[in-house]
Amino acid sequence: MIAGWNVRVLGSRLSRITWSVVVSGVLVSGACLLNAADEAPNTGLRGILPAAVPSDLGAALAVLPENWKDWSSAVSGELATLYEAEGTDVAGQRKVMETLRKRQATAKTYAADPRYRSILNALVSISGGLKRRLDIAEAALDTLEGGPALQTAKVNSARQKVVKEAQALESYLGSMRNGSGWGKYLQLNEVRTASGTDAATKSQTRLKEKNSLADANAREFLSRPQIASYEQAVDGYINALAAPAVASNNPELRAKLAELVKALEDYESTHASASAAAIRKAFDGVRGVAPDGGEKLGLALRDNYLNYNLRVVASEAYLNKFFHQSRNEAGPVRDFILGADVYGNQNTHTEVTIDLIPSGASAQFDVKASGAVASNTSGVTSQATVYTYGNHYFTALKRVVFDGEKFTSYAARIGVSANNSTTGADTNFGIFSGIANGIAVNRAEGMRGESEAIAASRIRDRVLPQFNSEVQKEFNNMNPDVAARLDALRELNLYPDAKSWSTTDTELKVSSRLMTATEVGGSEPSPSMYLGRGMTVLLHDSLINNSIDRLDFAGKTMTDAEMRAKIEAQATKLLGREVKFDEAAATNDDSGIKTIVFDKADPIRVHSDDGTLIVTMKAGFQQEGKEDIPTQIITIPITFQVTMENVILETGSVEVAAADKPESAAKQLAQAGVIKKKIATAFPRRDLKRVHRVEEKKVKAITAVTRIRALDGWLSISIE
């Protein structure tokens, strides 16, 4: 059609040119246009991003109040430019993404401001939703447009790493006998100085064959961490060199990126396990054809969809609710110091707390015993009795490290500040006693330094061994319980595939991820989800859903009692104590439903958003003496309210829809009514006490739930 149009126009205007020339020129031009269309049917992200703005972003923008109208309209227009406008080229897409980045930063900033609490839910949804989409879109565009430059950068980075590891290994081997021989065997010098693959390939081959060596000592030596680190770098370098060259805007890569983005958007809408599996499969496809092996997209996915899905932040002050102990001890003093028999009594007051120590790889803290010793003593010699008041202070510290598996403690240390004051003397020298007493006091004051040093030594000898032993015993006793809990997690298939323990000088931070190769993890939570004091526990949708999948309800037919028994058994095993749930709901159930037939895929799913925990069930129901109800999709919204006394869980309006087209609308309406009656008894309003008293062994503490938020895929519970 284009060629025909050109023939007609040019034919009317160029009558002096022969038709043969015109036709030839038109054919050539048409061929060029067609080839160009074949090579680049879309520009940048066009055809990779969905053709419409994601519905969750539109919904969050729509609820902003009137005074935010101009801002929300501008964001809506910018999103339409990115997703829907046909004529936006790569430069235009990058420009609008840069603008949307600023919008996202604005939403994040205002979400952290208490003055905007009334629109917090919308701001968090906008900020989180924009960040995830922009991170993926920018990474996809960079991967698509980078082409050979990305591959070159990856090779150069891998090359630098292998050189660094080869140098480190040479240094390590240089410190041992026959180390140079191992260096030659692994061709470290050649790998470090040559840019080709021959030396690296030979080194890699020898490392891969280490397990077939006859010498057990050689096998053990080549398995050392220093060599394993070098081997990993060599593998990375060879893999980078072997990656196929990919041209910019490669059609196959475009198709793989489109598959990935579609899977991500499906997951954003449904949170389905099939969508999660599709994300992982699509990313594997991208890695196979991306010039950087999917490195840029991998970073974006790890931050937004494969991140930790359980996070706990506890302040030092909150932890000390459970560690703090206060002791008062009184006892007699009987000693021999500087030639005098010393008698008297002393009182010791000790405060035991923990002091967090900054650490990025483990939880570290000092158990700290701060004490004050007050003593009244009499030092008796043949010449005089000297009265002394002691006011001494000590601080004992014992470092404890927790790596997520066990507690390790180190030798305690102590510092003592001893202070003696001579309050009088009795010499029994008759009329000369006043003078003699003064001399005795001066004599005692002259020996004050020695007496204080001895007092400090006595405190160290008395406090340090006892403190060291008690703390050591306490944490040694905790390790079997920790091991039992970890074993329970493994047995229940709930053990995290990644975890992190760290401390600052004021906070303990725990992060973990429950995820398999076909599942996804968490995102980066909004700062507004953290209270900033006490302890905050954050549960991502993926953690809850992945945990529910481990209950193995899919495709099962179960009664309420069977469900309850299974959950109780798993909770009992996990917590190491018997767990029993209230059976009142089952007792009050008169819906007629006796058995639940769970769907084979995603029978129970949860999603936290807009202040509500949304529970979605896919199940059919068997009724006593009546026709079975086919599979339904039941949506149960649960809201949270924290009052002065209670945490109130309340179920909102339940929605019931048939999974497949129903035979009759009237019949579906009646069955939906039965199901809603069932849900009303299973999910009644619950008023839970928000204040709890903890009394266990030496610990007495009061805790209270302060705030619960359900936003952008995260359920946040704050306790003080």
Q: Give pLDDT, residue 1.
A: 33
* pLDDT for position 453: 85
Kindly tell me if the per-residue pLDDT of 12 is higher than 70: no
For residue 14, what pLDDT is reported?
Answer: 31
Q: Looking at residue 189, what is its pLDDT?
A: 85
Cα 93 to Cα 85: distance, rounded to the nearest angstrom: 10
pLDDT in tens, 433-455: 566 566 666 776 777 778 888 88
CA-CA-CA-CA torsion sign (26, 32, 35, 37): negative
- Looking at residue 29, its pLDDT comes to 36
Average pLDDT over residues 551-564: 92
Mean pLDDT of the chain: 87
Assigned token pair, 515? 């995820």
Q: Transcribe 73-138 into DSSP letters.
A: HHHHHHHHHHHT-TT--HHHHHHHHHHHHHHHHHHHHHHT-GGGGGGHHHHHHHHHHHHHHHHHHH
The confidence score (pLDDT) of residue 584 equals 61
Angle between helices 120-146 and 295-304 (to 10 degrees): 170
Task: Give the whole-number percent of the chain exceeding pLDDT 90.
Answer: 58
CA of 357: how far to CAs of 396, 504, 554, in Å?
Answer: 15, 6, 45
What would the pLDDT profile of 339-397 be if each residue is shown by its tens digit? 778 888 989 999 999 999 999 999 999 999 999 999 888 878 877 777 888 889 999 99
Pairing of strands 340-357, 593-598: unpaired
How far apart (Å, rounded) are the C-alpha atoms in residues 144 and 150? 10
**Fold observed for domain 530-553+589-719:** Bactericidal permeability-increasing protein; domain 1 (3.15.10)
Q: Report the candidate in 49, 55, 520, 616 with the shortest Cα–Cα distance to residue 274.
A: 520
Quick: pLDDT tens for 468-490: 999 999 999 999 999 999 999 99
Cα(64)–Cα(8) distance, integer angstroms:
55
Q: Closest Cα to residue 460, out of 417, 409, 411, 400?
A: 417
Distance, in Å, from the CA atom of 683 to the CA atom of 558, rounded to the nearest integer, reads: 18
Q: Is the pLDDT of residue 196 over 70?
A: no
Q: Which of 300-309, 508-517, 549-558, 694-703 has the lowest mean pLDDT?
A: 694-703
pLDDT (average), residues 258-282: 97
715 versus 178: which is more confidently predicted? 715
Pairwise pLDDT comparison (45 vs 377), residue with the higher score: 45
679-689 pLDDT, tens digit each: 988 888 999 99
Domain locations in the chain as residue ranges = 2-39, 150-242, 314-483, 530-553+589-719
How many C-beta neighbours within 10 Å does residue 589 have? 16
Whole-prediction pTM value? 0.82
More confident residue, 238 or 139: 139
- DSSP string for 423-484: EEEE---GGGHHHHHHHHHHHHHHTHHHHHHHHHHHHHHHHHHHHHHHHHHHHHHHHHHHHH
Question: What does the pLDDT look like over 661-674, one tens digit per residue?
Answer: 998 999 999 999 99
Most confident of 281-285, 427-431, 436-440: 281-285
CA distance 677 to 590: 8
pLDDT tens digits along 572-612 = 888 888 888 776 655 566 677 889 999 999 999 999 999 99
Residue 660 three-state SS: coil
pLDDT value of position 444? 66
d(CA 83, CA 48): 9
Q: Residue 719 and residue 29: Cα distance in Å, rounded?
A: 71
Q: In whole angstroms, how far apart are CA 406 and each of 36, 362, 476, 480, 481?
A: 62, 11, 9, 9, 10
The alpha carbons of the chain give a radius of gyration, in whole angstroms, of: 36
CB contact at 8 A, 308 and 498: yes
CB 622 within 8 A of CB 556: no
DSSP-based three-state secondary structure for 520: coil
**What is d(CA 100, CA 132) in angstroms, rounded to the nearest whole number?**
12
DSSP alpha helix (H) spans, 508-590: 541-550, 560-575, 584-587
Burial class (CB in 10 A: 0-12, 13-18, 19+), 446: exposed
Q: Is the pLDDT of residue 530 over 80?
A: yes
| pLDDT beyond 90 at 195 | no
Over 90: is that where the pLDDT of 547 sits?
yes
Residues constituting the chain: 720
Q: Per-residue DSSP letters for 250-294?
A: -HHHHHHHHHHHHHHHHHHHH--HHHHHHHHHHHHHHHHH-TTTT
461 exposure class (CB count in 10 Å sphere: 0-12, 13-18, 19+): exposed
pLDDT at 573: 83
